[in-house]
Structure 1
Amino acid sequence: MRADLARHLAALLASVLLVLGLSAAPFLAAPAHAEEPRYATLTVTELTPSSVTSAGEDEVKVRGRLTNTFDRPINNLQFRLQRGPLVRTAVALRTSLMAPPSSFAVQTAPQTMDQTLAPGESAEFELTAPVSGPEGLQIDTTGVYPLQITASGVPESGGAVQLAQSRTQLPVVSLPADARRAAEFTGAAGDGSDSRLGRDGSLAPDTSAPAALTMIWPLAAAPQLAPGVLGGGTEPVRLISDQLAASLAPQGRLGAQLEALEKVREGVDSRVAETLCVAVDPDLLVTVHGMTLGYEVSDDPADPTSGSSPGTGQEAATDWLAKLRAIADDLCITALPFAQAGLDSLATIDDAGLSTVAVTGASDIVDALLDVESLRGIAIPAVGTLSEAGRTVLSTHDLQAAVASSSLEPERPDEAGRYRSGPVALQSYEVPISAALGAAGTAPVVPSILPSWQQPTLNDESAVTRRQAAVAALAFPMLTVPDSENGDGPGPLTGRSAFVMPPTYWSPTVDDAMSLLNAADLLLASGTAEPLSLRTLSEQLPAASNAAKLVTPGDVEPLVAQGFPISAADAAMVRSNQGVTGALEGSLVRSPNVTATPQSYLAPLREDALRAIATPQSQTLEQTRAARSMRITAVTTTLDRMKQSVALLDPGGRYTLASERSPLLLIVRNDLALPIRVQMDIEAPDALNVGDVGVQEIPPLGTRQIQIPTRASTSERATVEISMLTSTGVPLSEPISLSIYSNAYGKPLFWITIAAGVALVLLTARRLWHRFRGEPDPADEDRPEPDADSLRVASAPYAERVERAREQPEAPLPPPTSDREDDS
């Protein structure tokens, strides 16, 4: 018995092993990652309604286009709508678009198209499905739902396959009448039924806890001004490219945003305008203002003196700036950090003046160029994260309120999403919502602090589906009650706050912008949201008391989360350049003939340092480092050029003084656009005493002769080294070396002269002594006595002596006499 059982078990085991071996063989032979063929692309061209409301129809309509990208015809085309589960967290706004197909469990009946699609051919399709009911999407409550549009078919000589899909999301603010729900209506409160359910089966919006809606509308662009160009109108405005001209045009990225804002200003509900605040990058305004004056495009941005070509966007810049000024008169305006400078980089550089320009001086620039009074007192960091170093930068400049995203770890959630970190109060916002808004538009932008596992692929999504997902993300915080209120766990970081912060460089089209603004209008009108202006928020924010730690967002590289902070070596270069710039500014003098001031003349070099630490949105670390190095090097080059522009003209190496006290004459050339004050540093030997001429002012674009007092005590050659510095101590140009010669004979000549004088006095005294005593001078003892003829000539009148001298030329001319009788 046991033997039979053992035989049966052995045979069964052998059969199982044989089956397993045979079934495993195909898998072992197959490639590990067989790439599935790409059959078609599906493009959604229309989805209505954008938001489901009780005032609309109880159906969702989708129109689109299917294109055969396979190498064979496709038959039996079918289209259907599928729905995923209700989105309950902000993170799910992005991850639900990446979920496996099985998560879209609710499916509508397929709609068949009796058409064969040849390779490369396209076909239009239309889908309609009820919002509620078993034949539709089966939606019975408000919130945000993932949608999938699926196309399937049968390629020639093949079986049925899924051809393509597209995903988006549908916000449900309220639900229209529905007979099935109407049957559930009891009219009684507190019986467990939904109090929002109407007699006709409609479902009203949830207005029990309206979310506070504040929308930031960033206007910014990556730095475009070429580095190392001096300002104040002394040099032509130069850009690194002409891309901004296209962006400012009416159909460009920045032009389209202004068109949408103009519509807000003119016609959208005033409550939407109340929630909105336009955050402007001052660097963008400086660049556009420069373009309105006429500009050039540099051939080599790394070389401030390279060739250039005329820019094409002067008219577009003028129109754009005029529109923004008109909008600024009616809407809230605030300033972003200058050039999106990273706070961590500012902390590393540790230059108080530079930080002031970036943080608090940004508002001054916005006010000056837009002629408005911008909202101050709240900082909007470029990345959305805040470190302790960045917080110190803010608090040092008396900024006690800021905006932060996922860089917070609170002790307990706050229903307004407001927290305190040391001296700075923080308003939080959801990064996935920012990512959804950034995904809309002509050039989708992904926030750098969004983890990769939360970012769906957007390559196959149309402008309509990306726009629809952005609308759903905007509505999410107003339609979703936090889990903590249902007792399902801790609430979200932002609580019931709907602070909306798109990526800085987002690119919504006019249609995108209007869809978002119309959605905001709908949510406010429904009562699910209430407007909260940024001004009111910034006034309330300092009262925040819930403590929160500053942390690096999980699954994000620390360097990325901090906005690619500048390296120590580059920071040292920036500090050095800023020191030289400040010293040069202190030595320059304003000229009545030049409109530029020392501040405006050198302001671009300070701003270039901020552009060098701009926070990138899509660049890699290597690209960021290369751009940063290019800007820092260009500024260094310009500062060196400025120092060489003020120089001593070398007289040729040899200089001769006319006398021992002759001055040394030097000529100083100044090729700068402003006067500059300089001083001389002269090294000379002891034999040549050189005086100090003090500080001298050299006129712009000209020369000046300087007389340096000297005193030579020897006629020997003296080598003099002359250096020139600004009045603030910056070395200028190259020192010159002169070989100076003097006609002075020095101390030996002095003593010889003294000895000769003493001898003359003694000899004269001796002669007088003998004359007074009536004695002949011993010096005359060897002199011969005059003969009679000599005595007669000596006593003759002067005229006779002159006549005699003429007759005898060899005879010396007699000296004149003062005897008047002889003259007569």
Structure 2
Amino acid sequence: MTRARRGAPWALLATLLLALVPALFPIAANGEPDRTAFLVVEIDRVTPDIVATASEPFVTVDAAVTNVSDRPVREVVARLERADPLVATSGLRTTHTEAATSGYQPVGPFLNVTSELRPGQRAAVSFRYPIRPSDDPGLGIEHPGIYPLLINVNGTPDYGSPARLADARFLLPVLGVPPPPEPDTDAAPPAPGDVVAPDTARPVRLTMLWPLADRPRLVPGIAGGTTPVRLLDDDLAGELGPGGRLDGLLGAVEFATGANLDPGGELARTLCLAVDPDLLVTVNAMTTGYVVGDAPGTGQTVAAAWLERLRALAARMCVTALPYAQADLDAVARVGNAPLFSFATVGAQNLVDQLLGVTSVRGVTLFGDRPLTKEVLPLLDGNGQTVAIAPAAAATDPATGAPSTADVTAHRVSDRVAVAPFDPAVTATLGALGGAKNPPSYLDPSLRVPPAAGSPTALRQDALGALLWRGLHPDTEPRTQTVLPPPNWQVGAEDAGALLTALTTLLHSGLAQPLPLPELIGQTVVVPPPPVPLAAAPDTGRFDTEVIGTIADEDARLSGLTGSLGTNMQTGLTGTAYTAPLREDMLRALSTAIPADQRADRARADLALVGRTIDDLFGAVTIVNPGGSYTLATERSPLPLALRNDLAVPIRVRLQVDGPPGMTVTDPGVLELPPGYLPIRVPIEVHFTQRFAVDVALHTADGLTLGEPVRLSLHSNAYGKVLFFITLIAGATLAVLTGRRLWHRFRGQPDRADLEPPEPDHLHRRPPPPNPDPEVPPSRPESAP
């Protein structure tokens, strides 16, 4: 017991040292180190990027290793490894996980990269191996397929031991196996029969939607007719200009579908432009001038040029509309406003037609970042026969339970809505192209794996493999494929061109045939029942009930106001167009173009601005308060008022006048209030005489309160019935007196009122004579005896 107690401290110390070893010597279990601590591998070039029967018999991979740690790494070596071809589209994602490392086998021995790589230094490495099996090290590829490749880098860091420090993974699409390399001897070259061509007996019918979209850029909370247009930033000018993302996406399609590269129009029939109407609204507004903050925008010229190019391309290609501002249709449906949902879907198609001057493909609804849910279904039914292009449900291998290829068979979910699914693993792999860090929210957790590849070249190789996989697997059902990259696709011009080149190669090789979008819609709408139940919506990226409730309340207020607005005959601005930007702001607040972890905060901020603007619109129609009191001359004197309309369009209003008992108001009905001031007189009748107050309020035609109510102080001089009887008696008296006078005149008798009154007696008395002696008082007259 004592000996055991004495050994306890040493055991504890040993345990601590073992715990500190990984920190001092960062080598993970099973020989796997902390990859982020020392080296990073970047793939610079893969030649050829797609192997075909006419390709060179070698594959060359150029890469670079960079020391990103704070200590030197010595004896840096690397080798190329290969795994078996992908048997399911889930492998497009799962081959990048650490669990898939065991499936890779060495192609050749380790090559020396450098004897020492100091912090920040970069060293190049290149691999060149035959494609087919040979006596020399080679890839050993004998059949077409999508092959995962891996660059494994080992080294010895300071204070550590040799270990695997980094890797980079990518996919190599093989459409056909070329002949083996010619021998160095004078032997005859390989015969043409030595190539392994792909199986083209069952080509896949392919539809690819090419998204042109961007995140919302317009400043929220600004009503229509306001100039100049305000943008949140000027980044869109760079994307539309030469070398920008949207310039590259548009230019790649212009070039690839030109008469020289696509004389038969196969690629043009396969592609369909999926345009976000919000992007068109923004670019169209930029063409007339705009501001960012207080500074003028710089993209007016490039916006006009880009829009004209798009119009020219849309005139010769299929065009359809994304939901407005890439709005989450599940969230829009939860708002519970059918007109708002219709605007986000059918209204979006109308905007595309209006701004591009084309007739877009109807009867289709695209689901980009969110799946089709049961909340959306009733509103889609209201749009009539519709094909929803939405992500397929995740699938698993029944034998192993591992992720498998999604079932993209068209099916019906209601009497009016059928679904043409797309493979979510393919879309997620295409979406990673361009460096997008957030996979689509509908992606199954088993496939939600960030790519481990270390360069844009590796991501491009993965995207090519995703695009070509189904064409190389003729036994996979169904033989139709719909490809819909994420709407806000962050792909550059070089990557876009590479994808369209691969698509052209797929079509020309006989592995695929064009399936124009109208034909896809036509064959999907006839899918027979029974309907397939919809899965529950994932919580990832879902808008909370607070945001949904705010939009429902504000949209109800805005719809009520819009219903009372008219058209400004001078400018042509309609009430619907005047409030449309605010309704569009509500859809922008539900945009899936915003990263999922930022959506709620962005939505609340935008809706706060929209709510304040709606408050201002209601407060812009008021009754002018005179600030004094009125005096009514009679009991029927009208009540003079002045109404003020600061809106840019006329509005239909009603007056509500509340007075004390004894006052009667004649309702003037619905008034058309133009922009500016409108004096009116409200007929009233008052049956009392006193000072009193009258409350006057203004409402829309449907009863929504406008502005602030006004209290008027009135003074009435009306005497009511007393004044009436006094006036009646006075009139009767006047009539009697007038009749009496006329009667006397008729009889020739003077009326007493016409006689002159007699003079008073004091006017006939003589004054006493003057007294000659002022000292002698005048004698008094003697009285008579």
TM bucket (normalised to shorter chain) is: 0.7 to 0.9
CA distance in 1, matches of 2:378, 2:22: 51
Q: Which residue in the other structure is 1:120 paired with?
A: 120
Quick one: which of 262, 279, 283 aligns to 2:274?
A: 279
- Bigger Cα displacement from structure 2, 32-41 vs 630-639: 32-41
C-alpha offsets along residues 226-264 of structure 1, whole Å, 9 cap, x if unaligned? 222111x33432223333222222222222211212212
CA distance in 2, matches of 1:788, 1:710: 62
Tell me if 1:397 matches 2:386.
Answer: no
- Work out whether residues 374 and 534 of structure 2, in 8 Å CA contact, stay in contact via their aligned partners in 1: no
Tell me if 1:64 matches 2:63.
Answer: yes
Tell me if 1:590 matches 2:589.
Answer: no
Q: In 2 relative to 1, CA 773–788 (structure 1 residues): closer, same or farther, beyond 3 Å?
A: farther
Question: Offset at 1:769?
Answer: 7.9
Quick one: which of 151, 154, 157 aligns to 1:152?
A: 154
Quick one: which of 690, 715, 718 aligns to 1:716?
A: 690
CA distance in 2, matches of 1:661, 1:720: 15
User: What are the residue-to-residue correspondences of 1:162-181 with 2, within 5 Å?
Assistant: 162-178=164-180
Q: Which residue in the other structure is 1:640 paired with?
A: 615
Question: Offset at 1:740?
Answer: 0.9
- Work out whether residues 698 and 706 of structure 2, in 8 Å CA contact, stay in contact via their aligned partners in 1: yes
Secondary structure, counterpart of 2:194 in structure 1? coil
Secondary structure, counterpart of 1:433 in structure 2? helix
Q: Which residue in the other structure is 1:316 paired with?
A: 302
Q: Which residue in the other structure is 1:208 paired with?
A: 201
Quick one: which of 576, 594, 598 aligns to 2:553?
A: 576
Tell me if 1:234 matches 2:233.
Answer: no
Secondary structure, counterpart of 1:669 in structure 2? strand
- Work out whether residues 214 and 531 of structure 1, in 8 Å CA contact, stay in contact via their aligned partners in 2: yes
Question: Offset at 1:476?
Answer: 0.8
- Work out whether residues 409 and 551 of structure 1, in 8 Å CA contact, stay in contact via their aligned partners in 2: no
Q: In 2 relative to 1, CA 205–460 (structure 1 residues): closer, same or farther, beyond 3 Å?
A: closer
Question: Offset at 1:373?
Answer: 1.2
CA distance in 2, matches of 1:527, 1:765: 121
CA distance in 2, matches of 1:438, 1:148: 21
Quick one: which of 662, 672, 684 aligns to 1:697?
A: 672
Letter in structure 2 aligned against 1:474: L
C-alpha offsets along residues 318-352 of structure 1, whole Å, 9 cap, x if unaligned? 22212211221222111011112222223222222
Letter in structure 1 aligned against 2:87: R
Q: Which residue in the other structure is 1:52 paired with?
A: 51
- Bigger Cα displacement from structure 2, 206-215 vs 538-547: 538-547
Question: Offset at 1:90?
Answer: 0.8
Q: Which residue in the other structure is 1:614 paired with?
A: 591
Q: In 2 relative to 1, CA 33–480 (structure 1 residues): closer, same or farther, beyond 3 Å?
A: farther
User: What are the residue-to-residue correspondences of 1:11-30 with 2, within 5 Å?
Assistant: 29-30=18-19
Q: In 2 relative to 1, CA 546–495 (structure 1 residues): closer, same or farther, beyond 3 Å?
A: farther
CA distance in 1, matches of 2:213, 2:608: 25
Q: Which residue in the other structure is 2:771 paired with?
A: none
Question: Offset at 1:551?
Answer: 4.0
Q: In 2 relative to 1, CA 691–626 (structure 1 residues): closer, same or farther, beyond 3 Å?
A: same
CA distance in 2, matches of 1:777, 1:154: 145
Question: Offset at 1:165?
Answer: 1.3
CA distance in 2, matches of 1:82, 1:204: 24
CA distance in 2, matches of 1:776, 1:154: 148
Question: Offset at 1:530?
Answer: 1.6
Letter in structure 2 aligned against 1:361: G
Quick one: which of 503, 507, 510 aligns to 2:490?
A: 507
Tell me if 1:552 matches 2:554.
Answer: no
Letter in structure 2 aligned against 1:314: Q
Question: Offset at 1:48?
Answer: 0.9
- Work out whether residues 79 and 106 of structure 2, in 8 Å CA contact, stay in contact via their aligned partners in 1: no
Q: Which residue in the other structure is 1:730 paired with?
A: 704
User: What are the residue-to-residue correspondences of 1:123-142 with 2, within 5 Å?
Assistant: 123-133=123-133, 135-142=137-144
User: What are the residue-to-residue correspondences of 1:763-778 with 2, within 5 Å?
Assistant: none
Q: Which residue in the other structure is 1:185 paired with?
A: none
C-alpha offsets along residues 526-576 of structure 1, whole Å, 9 cap, x if unaligned? 2111221112111111122375634438xxx7223xx51452x54444333
Question: Offset at 1:693?
Answer: 2.6
Letter in structure 2 aligned against 1:150: N
Question: Offset at 1:736?
Answer: 0.8
Q: Which residue in the other structure is 2:634 paired with?
A: 659
Quick one: which of 399, 403, 428 aligns to 1:435?
A: 428
- Work out whether residues 83 and 105 of structure 1, in 8 Å CA contact, stay in contact via their aligned partners in 2: yes
Identity over aligned pairs, percent: 38
Letter in structure 2 aligned against 1:79: A
Q: Which residue in the other structure is 2:163 paired with?
A: 161
- Work out whether residues 379 and 399 of structure 1, in 8 Å CA contact, stay in contact via their aligned partners in 2: no
Tell me if 1:649 matches 2:624.
Answer: yes
Q: Which residue in the other structure is 2:292 paired with?
A: 297
Letter in structure 2 aligned against 1:552: A
Quick one: which of 336, 340, 343 aligns to 2:329?
A: 343
- Work out whether residues 392 and 406 of structure 2, in 8 Å CA contact, stay in contact via their aligned partners in 1: no
Q: In 2 relative to 1, CA 787–296 (structure 1 residues): closer, same or farther, beyond 3 Å?
A: same
- Bigger Cα displacement from structure 2, 460-469 vs 760-769: 760-769
CA distance in 1, matches of 2:530, 2:746: 116
Letter in structure 1 aligned against 2:381: S
CA distance in 2, matches of 1:460, 1:151: 13
C-alpha offsets along residues 622-653 of structure 1, whole Å, 9 cap, x if unaligned? x3222222233322211221122121111114
Q: In 2 relative to 1, CA 436–546 (structure 1 residues): closer, same or farther, beyond 3 Å?
A: farther
Q: Which residue in the other structure is 2:81 paired with?
A: 82
CA distance in 1, matches of 2:116, 2:460: 31
Question: Offset at 1:27?
Answer: 9.2
CA distance in 2, matches of 1:703, 1:347: 41
Secondary structure, counterpart of 2:147 in structure 1? strand
CA distance in 2, matches of 1:430, 1:286: 31
Secondary structure, counterpart of 1:325 in structure 2? helix
CA distance in 1, matches of 2:420, 2:244: 32
CA distance in 2, matches of 1:310, 1:610: 26
Q: In 2 relative to 1, CA 449–27 (structure 1 residues): closer, same or farther, beyond 3 Å?
A: farther
CA distance in 1, matches of 2:449, 2:693: 75
Letter in structure 1 aligned against 2:266: R
Question: Offset at 1:441?
Answer: 1.5
User: What are the residue-to-residue correspondences of 1:488-527 with 2, within 5 Å?
Assistant: 495-527=478-510
CA distance in 2, matches of 1:525, 1:533: 16
Quick one: which of 241, 244, 258 aligns to 1:252?
A: 244
- Work out whether residues 665 and 706 of structure 1, in 8 Å CA contact, stay in contact via their aligned partners in 2: yes
Question: Offset at 1:758?
Answer: 3.7
- Work out whether residues 448 and 617 of structure 1, in 8 Å CA contact, stay in contact via their aligned partners in 2: no
CA distance in 2, matches of 1:318, 1:254: 13
C-alpha offsets along residues 67-87 of structure 1, whole Å, 9 cap, x if unaligned? 223444444332221001221
- Work out whether residues 72 and 155 of structure 1, in 8 Å CA contact, stay in contact via their aligned partners in 2: yes
User: What are the residue-to-residue correspondences of 1:796-815 with 2, within 5 Å?
Assistant: none
CA distance in 1, matches of 2:178, 2:46: 18
TM-score w.r.t. structure 1 length? 0.81
Tell me if 1:264 matches 2:256.
Answer: yes
- Work out whether residues 143 and 171 of structure 1, in 8 Å CA contact, stay in contact via their aligned partners in 2: yes
- Work out whether residues 337 and 380 of structure 1, in 8 Å CA contact, stay in contact via their aligned partners in 2: yes
Which 5+ residue runs of structure 1 have no aligned equivalent?
Answer: 1-17, 181-196, 299-307, 483-490, 791-824
- Work out whether residues 383 and 449 of structure 1, in 8 Å CA contact, stay in contact via their aligned partners in 2: yes
CA distance in 2, matches of 1:470, 1:227: 36
- Bigger Cα displacement from structure 2, 347-356 vs 706-715: 706-715
- Work out whether residues 407 and 551 of structure 1, in 8 Å CA contact, stay in contact via their aligned partners in 2: no
CA distance in 2, matches of 1:253, 1:375: 25
Which 5+ residue runs of structure 2 have no aligned equivalent?
Answer: 1-6, 27-32, 183-189, 399-404, 765-785
C-alpha offsets along residues 112-163 of structure 1, whole Å, 9 cap, x if unaligned? 3465333322122211111121521111111111100122234456543323
Give the aligned length.
725
Letter in structure 2 aligned against 1:118: R
- Work out whether residues 408 and 549 of structure 1, in 8 Å CA contact, stay in contact via their aligned partners in 2: no
Secondary structure, counterpart of 2:481 in structure 1? strand
- Work out whether residues 444 and 507 of structure 1, in 8 Å CA contact, stay in contact via their aligned partners in 2: no
Letter in structure 2 aligned against 1:641: D
CA distance in 1, matches of 2:616, 2:21: 62
TM-score w.r.t. structure 2 length? 0.85
User: What are the residue-to-residue correspondences of 1:400-439 with 2, within 5 Å?
Assistant: 400-407=386-393, 417-423=409-415, 424-439=417-432
Secondary structure, counterpart of 2:41 in structure 1? strand
Q: Which residue in the other structure is 1:799 paired with?
A: none
